[in-house]
Amino acid sequence: MQARELYRRAPRLSYACAFLAALTAVAIGFNPGNATQAASGPGSGGTGGGGTGGTGTAVTPVVHPPPVVPGSLKSVWVPEPPTLSDYVKNKQAAIKLGKALFWDQQVGSAGQACATCHFHAGADDRTRNQISPGLNGGDVTFQTCPPDGQLAPKHYPFHVLQDRDDNKSTVLRDSNDVTSSQGVFKAKYLGLNALITGLFSEINGDEFDSTFCIGTLNTRRVEPRNTPTAINAVFFVDNFWDGRAKFRFNGVNPFGHLDEGARIYLNDGGTLTPVKAQLPYCSLASQAVGPPGSDFEMSFRGKPFNDLGRRLLMERPLKLQRVHPQDSALGSLARATVGAGGVLQGSMGLNVASYRDMVHYAFQDKWWNSTDPVSIAGFVVNGARIDNPRTAVLDPKSAVVQDNAVTTASLPVGQYTQEEMNFSLFFGLAVQLYEATLVSDDAPFDRYAEGKLSALTTQQKTGLDIFMNQGKCITCHNGPEFSDATITGSGILALDHPPELIETMQMADGVATYDGGFYNIGVRPTTEDMGAGGNSPFVNPLTNEPYPLSRTKLALLKRDGLLPSGVAEFVPDILGVLESDRAAVHGAMKVPSLRNAELTGPYFHDGGAGTLRDVVDFYARGSDFGKATNIADWDIDVDGIGHIRGHDDRKSALVSFLQSLTDERVKYEKGPFDHPDLYVPNGGKLGAEQAFIKVPGVGKYGRSASSLPSLKPFLNLNPQNPSPAK
């Protein structure tokens, strides 16, 4: 038993300790489909990948049950809040609304949709204007290629060693750049302009960005972390790499219980009342409302969500895009037709007059039917780091309900209707309900786990053995979701468990406490990106310091009486005395799912690995920045895989197993992974040429029905080969 099994992490390792016993069971007729008990929802007591949802105290070693192969993803409950019906009156209508909002280019200030960064297997495979410098570490210099530059296979991986199996060998190349997603040009939001049509457009004032520019012209700003896939994201406890999109949705922004002032507006028997929301199992809703307000991603600087609501509520959904008449969710509302070769033609958008109609049909009347306006004196940027728009939010300085009935058309600047004030609530919940349908549970591995042993090749079964045993991959990528950052994987399925998980473990330099499902694996030096060790935009009045994002740091503050009651209510208690008060959370990032990883490169939070083989090489050599650089926070489970180091056949087997996690429906964009047309920005300079890629809309029968090829890996690189690194 490993030393760290004396600590909270031990229960999760039960998958890995006796995999050979599971193989023996399979040989005598064991059905892998029974390996993971199906979860039925909150209160069921199911634990998925193990774990106890505990408190961070050291525990006595226990004997764990024999490990089993992770089950099919079909066995896992798809999370949603237990009080959903208090908000949503028609779930199918809300799913339609969520899909329309997710794919609609009208959401962004410069033509970006949420899907603009999630259009390729839920991720982003663009190769022009996709490099960001090491912004989170304070670097603004480009090393891989210049702003608006074109990426090529030769640029990967970012960290190149003379011997890729030896992390102590000569470094031939190293870059702290990030492959991510281009967003908006830097521009200041000046308000909405009522056009003669009665719709709204944005007025903006251009600003110069000295980092993302060519000469005197701005290029599109690129986010400081790689874009994760939206597919299967509904299963995570918290979302984003740093976990800032919290388990409980406050209806306003990503930060959940850390924003004590967040309010939504309820029509309570004719009285419009601000109320506090904390909806559990909603980190995906928390995540959804972040990008539309980020001036790196989708918004001109200073644009409030209320104004986005005012604009969209009057617009025809998807009016700039065609929707396939066989779209799995929106087909019955589509105005387009299918022409020769499966190409969409005819009218754009949905046959619904406005988003207002979709909101009214999907959500309970009490959240939108008041005629009393809310007056706001103005908005202020609330952020622990004002220079980091990814963690800043706009908050109203004051919001006062006015007791007089008005219509939207007559509202002056600074006044909003109830439905405009609640638009972030509608947006977040609808997008979550749509993304909750994006569950890829029919990969070859799922069929194997359900009992069809021939679904995996001999090589893939060898790779599964390595994954479970010698590779220790299962330690962090456990359960049917292949991540222990998930609701079932972390063992907090039932609401009577604290909906935040912290653990104590043996680190490389002693015992420390950390956030379960978030680890520093040594991809880059800790100081380049604090990850889960960073701060929220909101200041703790008891310390005059920003609230930390880390669950561990919050729990330690609660233990010491340094959290207000409104925040402490949603932070777990630390029972007893920790063996260590040291929080090993700096540089820690959320463990991503490995499902469909074949299609979601480049990899890691910095997007610095071009192929799955690059990733396997990284783990084989024991990371790039471990004991020598990140020792205070580094996860010792990443300390090399001797069994595969130097063995190309074993590495190939592990990559082959990872490819067995690809769902063919994702690869061919079959329902529910189908989508409308999308025009994706692809570089260019403000005031000069612009480039766009058209992503053709497909229906529920997928790309093959439209004579389109399947999705390919990033840069069309072979997953089995290392990146050329020239």
433-487 pLDDT tens trace: 999 999 999 999 999 999 999 999 999 999 999 999 988 899 899 999 999 999 9
**565: CB partners within 8 A, 6+ apart:** none
Token representation of residue 156: 């990967």
Average pLDDT over residues 630-646: 92
The answer on 447 and 334 residing in a single domain is no
What per-residue confidence (pLDDT) applies to 579? 57
The answer on 188 and 53 residing in a single domain is no
What per-residue confidence (pLDDT) applies to 688? 78
pLDDT at residue 633 is higher than 80: yes
Token representation of residue 69: 């192969």
Domain stops at, among 659, 679, 700: 659
Assess if residue 490 is contained within a domain.
yes
Residues in the chain, overall count: 726
Helix ranges (H only) for 509-550 are none
Assess if residue 717 is contained within a domain.
no
Assign residue 482 the CATH number of its domain. Answer: 1.10.760.10
pLDDT digits (tens, 9 = 90+) for 400-443: 888 766 655 567 778 999 999 999 999 999 999 999 999 999 99
Question: Which is higher by pLDDT, 341 or 289?
Answer: 289
Average pLDDT over residues 536-559: 95
Whole-Å CA distances, 567 to 260, 392, 541, 548, 671 = 7, 19, 11, 12, 40
Q: Do the beta carbons of residue 484 and residue 478 sit within 8 Å?
A: yes
Please name the amino acid found at residue 364: Q
The answer on 620 and 479 residing in a single domain is yes
pLDDT digits (tens, 9 = 90+) for 290-336: 999 999 999 999 999 999 999 999 999 999 999 999 999 999 999 99
Assess if residue 690 is contained within a domain.
no
pLDDT at residue 710 is higher than 60: yes
91-103 and 355-362 helices, crossing angle to 10°: 150
Assess if residue 149 is contained within a domain.
no
- Whole-angstrom Cα distance, residue 573 to residue 301? 38
Assign 39 a pLDDT band (cuts: 50, 70, 90).
Answer: very low
Assess if residue 688 is contained within a domain.
no
Average pLDDT over residues 644-654: 97
What per-residue confidence (pLDDT) applies to 13? 36
Token representation of residue 607: 């997007």
The answer on 320 and 261 residing in a single domain is yes
DSSP 3-state percent helix, strand, coil across the chain (nearest 5):
25, 20, 55
- Whole-angstrom Cα distance, residue 272 to residue 417? 10
Region of poorest pLDDT, from 33-47, 110-124, 252-266, 514-528:
33-47
Q: Do the beta carbons of residue 490 and residue 519 sit within 8 Å?
A: no
Nearest to 402 by CA among 368, 422, 376, 425: 376
DSSP code, position 603? B
The answer on 324 and 456 residing in a single domain is no
Token representation of residue 191: 């308000």
**Percent of the chain scored above 70 by pLDDT?**
86
What per-residue confidence (pLDDT) applies to 410? 60
Assess if residue 339 is contained within a domain.
yes
Assess if residue 153 is contained within a domain.
no
What per-residue confidence (pLDDT) applies to 25? 36
Region of poorest pLDDT, from 172-176, 202-206, 709-713:
202-206
The answer on 455 and 326 residing in a single domain is no
The answer on 444 and 431 residing in a single domain is no
What per-residue confidence (pLDDT) applies to 504? 82
What per-residue confidence (pLDDT) applies to 414? 86
What per-residue confidence (pLDDT) applies to 196? 58
Token representation of residue 610: 């071009």
The answer on 384 and 516 residing in a single domain is no
**539: CB partners within 8 A, 6+ apart:** 384, 545, 546, 547
Domain stops at, among 659, 689, 719: 659
Q: Residue 532: phi, psi to the nearest 5?
A: -65, -15
| Whether this model's pTM surpasses 0.85 | yes
- Whole-angstrom Cα distance, residue 541 to residue 567? 11
What per-residue confidence (pLDDT) applies to 169? 96
Compute CA 670 distance to the chain's CA centroid, rounded to the nearest angstrom. 22
Domain stops at, among 659, 678, 713: 659
Assign 8 a pLDDT band (cuts: 50, 70, 90).
Answer: very low
Domain of residue 469: give its range.
Answer: 3-78+440-659
What per-residue confidence (pLDDT) applies to 201? 86
Total domains in the chain come to: 2
Give the mean pLDDT of the chain: 87
Average pLDDT over residues 667-693: 93
The answer on 418 and 530 residing in a single domain is no
pLDDT digits (tens, 9 = 90+) for 94-106: 999 999 999 999 9
Assess if residue 672 is contained within a domain.
no
What per-residue confidence (pLDDT) applies to 409? 55
The answer on 575 and 426 residing in a single domain is no
Assign 391 a pLDDT band (cuts: 50, 70, 90).
Answer: confident
What per-residue confidence (pLDDT) applies to 404? 67
Token representation of residue 53: 């949802």
Assign 572 a pLDDT band (cuts: 50, 70, 90).
Answer: confident
The answer on 449 and 428 residing in a single domain is no
The answer on 339 and 220 residing in a single domain is yes
- Whole-angstrom Cα distance, residue 224 to residue 166? 28
